[in-house]
Amino acid sequence: MSDLQSKYILQTAGFDARFPNQNQTRHCFQNYTDYFKCIAAKGEDYAPCKQFKRAYNSLCPNEWIAKWDEQRENGTFPASLEP
């Protein structure tokens, strides 16, 4: 068990002053779109983009992420992901 704990570090998204209320739906969606805008502009290997991914994985329900991923693949995602 201690080997597993040393291998993984659990973190949640930090405080974001743009989203001061308890409802984090907008924060979730914004981090999702920011991640894909970031990788479109800088590439998947750009380390700061990974913070957006960690944040949306922490905040968003898995069903939402799966739905948005499907919408992106189908070209029906409701927001622009261009940088």
Question: For position 63, what pLDDT does the model report?
Answer: 95
Q: Which residues are within 8 A (CB) of 30 and not within 5 positions of it... i.e. 6 or more apart?
A: 18, 19
Q: Is the pLDDT of residue 74 over 70?
A: yes
**pTM for this model (two decimals):** 0.75
Structure tokens at 26: 């907008």
Query: From CA 21, how far away is CA 83, in angstroms rounded?
Result: 27
pLDDT tens-digit readout, 20-69: 666 778 889 999 999 999 999 999 889 999 999 999 999 999 999 999 99
Chain centroid offset of residue 55 CA: 5
